[in-house]
């Protein structure tokens, strides 16, 4: 009896468990179905709400939000500064130029032509500033003082130099070695010399002004070259021979050579001493800048320490403060070439010590550049007035710039010989090495501002330098981007390997 009762109890337990299993399985299915029905109802409600106009949704909501934000920013500026935020004031002018340049860049990003590579947004920013300056009613109320624009452009130059210093990859430089040095120094120096030659005989420039113009034109633009090269690299074009890697690494060095040469020529052009004294003072500035950069680079490596929170943000803020102080302070005390070299040495040493940890700092500085880029190109475009140009000025400027650019392209082709590239690849590298934008936007107006303050009799030369810099951006930036995008897939060999592609300078995407 006992055994039969225990068996019956055991069977009852099994039956109760079996009956409970379907209940357990059924309840989650019901809840899941209820959740699916709720999500479908919410999705349908959201879809229906997008078509309603009260409250507005989608693009209309974004426009209203941005408009109110802009109005509130202006109200805060007006509350703090009064007349400076009204039409004719500096803050009002900066606000209008910034938002116009920002919208111009976004508009150029939206406009896409099938089978044609996208144009760089900086072209829309440049044209926005140019339109503001040359529309009579708007130009009377949108004005920015020279001191304000000069400070902002020098700050933008500092951000460019910081990103150039952090973007130098020691491993890539060791791998590429002589080819990278040839590509970064040779075309820049040859274009500077040829621009001095052509401007002396075509535009009647003095030789020292010609070399100053040459170093303005000699820099290639990472803002155009790097995104185009990364696009080709992601699709596997030219990575077998390292062509995108070569151009990305050499673009920062090219800018360093041009900026250093420009600062040296600036000290010679606007100084009253002899040539020997000017050369000695330039050497002094270089020595002070390099020494200060090395010391500050080791300081930034250890401060802030690695045990602190939000380390990338603190490092980025500290570097930005030190470098802006170095650039603006060196110009204030007369050491014009020291600030830029100090920035480059500081960031290169700090980035080398941080290794892969510098990616977080680079992202923060990339966001900072997104703020200064519309201001920079908008202010450069607003410096060019059509009414102030002489009838034959544009033709002469284009002829000088084009002649120097042809020398640069030919020099690049010759220097890439005996480097393992085919004839088509050398043609591609030579044509990819022509876009100009960021450095020209910074250096072009500097000579004009200095001439207005210290040497008004030299303002005509400085204005021509500014005009050529504007035309160089307007002509070479879109054409260079189009040539890279069109010729790359046709000329470069495709070698797509995802494992190797991830190792191809992925850290350089911060440009």
Residue 51 in this model has a pLDDT that exceeds 70: no
Q: Which residues pair with 237 in a beta bridge?
A: 494
Q: Which residues pair with 494 in a beta bridge?
A: 237
CA gap 483, 348 in Å, rounded: 31
Main-chain dihedrals φ then ψ at residue 393, nearest 5 degrees: -65, -45
Kind and range of the H or E run holding 311: helix 311-333
Please report which confidence band the pLDDT of residue 191 belongs to, taking 50, 70 and 90 as the band edges: very high
d(CA 461, CA 448): 8
Which residue would you say has higher pLDDT here, 149 or 45? Answer: 149
Average pLDDT over residues 396-402: 92
Query: Mind listing the pLDDT tens digit for each residue in 194-208?
Result: 999 999 999 999 998
Q: Where are the beta strands (DSSP E) in 339-471?
A: none
Q: How far is CA 475 from CA 53, 171, 471, 482, in A?
A: 44, 34, 6, 11
What three-state secondary structure class fits 354?
helix
Highest-confidence segment of 251-255, 351-355, 377-381, 388-392: 377-381
Q: Before 55, cis peptide (omega within 30)? A: yes
Predicted confidence (pLDDT) per residue in 256-279, tens digit: 888 888 888 887 888 766 667 777
pLDDT value at residue 310: 85
Can you tell me the distance from the alpha carbon of 130 to that of 474, in angstroms, rounded to the nearest whole number? 11
Delineate the domains of the chain, giving CATH numbers in brackets.
Answer: 144-510 (1.20.1530.20)
- Given a contact cutoff of 8 angstroms between Cβ atoms, the answer to whether 491 and 425 are in contact is yes
Integer Cα distance of 348 and 166 in angstroms: 5
Question: Can you read off the two tokens belonging to residue 382?
Answer: 């607003």
Q: What is the pLDDT of residues 459-505, one digit of tens each?
A: 889 889 989 999 999 899 888 888 998 888 888 888 765 445 444 44
What tens digit of pLDDT does each residue of 125-177 get?
989 989 998 888 887 788 888 788 888 888 888 888 888 788 777 776 677 67
Burial of 27 (0-12, 13-18, 19+ CB in 10 A): exposed
Calpha distance 418→225 (Å, rounded): 23
Average pLDDT (314-336) is 87
CA dist 82 and 85 (Å) reads 6
The helix or strand, by DSSP H or E, that contains position 90, with its residue range, turns out to be helix 90-110
Q: Tell whether the model's pLDDT for residue 227 goes beyond 70.
A: yes
- The CA–CA distances, whole Å, from 479 to 142, 317, 442, 503 equal 31, 36, 21, 30
The CB density around residue 374, as the number of other CB atoms within 10 Å, is 25
**Cα–Cα distance between 103 and 100 in angstroms, integer?**
5
SS3 502: coil
Render 398-424 in DSSP notation, one character per residue. HHHHHHHHHHHHHHHHHHTTTTT--HH
> Distance between CA atoms of 380 and 97, rounded to whole angstroms?
10
> What is the radius of gyration, based on Cα positions, of the chain?
29
Position with higher pLDDT, 278 vs 365: 365
Which of 217, 157, 210, 164 lies closest to 442, judged by CA? 157
Instruction: For the chain, give the percent of residues with pLDDT over 90.
Output: 16
Residue 335 DSSP symbol: -
Sign of CA dihedral 26, 27, 32, 33: positive
């Amino acid at each position: 009896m006992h055994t039969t009762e225990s068996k019956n109890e055991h069977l009852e337990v099994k039956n109760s468990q079996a009956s409970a299993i379907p209940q357990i399985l059924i309840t989650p299915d019901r809840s899941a179905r209820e959740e699916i029905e709720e999500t479908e109802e919410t999705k349908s409600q959201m879809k229906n709400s997008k078509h309603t106009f009260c409250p507005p949704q989608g693009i209309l909501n974004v426009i209203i939000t941005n408009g109110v934000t802009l109005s509130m920013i202006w109200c805060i500026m007006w509350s703090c500064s009064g007349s400076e935020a009204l039409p004719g004031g500096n803050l009002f002018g900066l606000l209008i130029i910034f938002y116009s340049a920002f919208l111009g860049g976004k508009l150029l990003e939206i406009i896409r032509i099938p089978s044609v590579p996208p144009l760089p947004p900086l072209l829309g920013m440049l044209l926005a500033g140019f339109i503001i300056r040359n529309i009579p009613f708007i130009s009377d109320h949108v004005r920015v003082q020279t001191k304000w624009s000069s400070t902002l452009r020098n700050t933008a130059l500092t951000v460019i130099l910081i990103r150039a210093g952090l973007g130098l990859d020691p491993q890539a430089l060791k791998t590429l070695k002589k080819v990278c040095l040839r590509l970064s120094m040779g075309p820049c120096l040859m274009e500077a010399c040829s621009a001095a030659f052509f401007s002396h005989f075509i535009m009647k420039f003095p030789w020292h002004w010609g070399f100053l113009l040459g170093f303005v034109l000699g820099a290639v633009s990472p803002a155009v070259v790097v995104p185009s090269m990364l696009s080709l690299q992601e699709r596997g074009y030219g990575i077998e021979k390292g062509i995108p890697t070569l151009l990305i690494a050499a673009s920062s060095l090219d800018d360093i050579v041009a900026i250093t040469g420009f600062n040296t020529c600036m000290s010679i052009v606007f100084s009253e001493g002899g040539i020997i004294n000017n050369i000695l003072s330039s050497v002094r500035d270089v020595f002070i800048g390099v020494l200060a950069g090395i010391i500050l680079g080791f300081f930034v490596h250890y401060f802030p320490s690695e045990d602190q929170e939000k380390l990338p943000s603190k490092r980025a803020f500290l570097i930005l403060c030190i470098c802006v102080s170095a650039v603006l302070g060196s110009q204030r005390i007369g050491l014009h070439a020291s600030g830029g070299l100090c920035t480059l040495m500081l960031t290169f040493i700090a980035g080398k010590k941080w290794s892969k940890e510098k990616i977080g700092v680079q992202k923060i500085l990339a966001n900072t550049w997104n703020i200064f880029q519309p201001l920079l190109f908008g202010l450069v475009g607003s410096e060019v007035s059509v009414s102030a140009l002489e009838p034959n000025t544009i033709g002469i400027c284009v002829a000088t710039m084009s002649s120097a650019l042809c020398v640069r392209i030919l020099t690049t082709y010759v220097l890439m010989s005996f480097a393992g590239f085919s004839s088509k690849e050398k043609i591609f590298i030579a044509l990819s090495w022509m876009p100009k934008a960021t450095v020209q936007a910074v250096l072009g107006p500097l000579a004009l501002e200095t001439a207005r303050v210290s040497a008004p009799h030299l303002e005509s030369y400085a204005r021509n330098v500014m005009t050529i810099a504007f035309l160089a951006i307007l002509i070479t930036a879109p054409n260079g981007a189009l040539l890279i995008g069109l010729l790359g897939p046709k000329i470069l060999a495709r070698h797509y390997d995802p494992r190797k592609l991830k190792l191809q300078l992925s850290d350089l995407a911060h440009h």
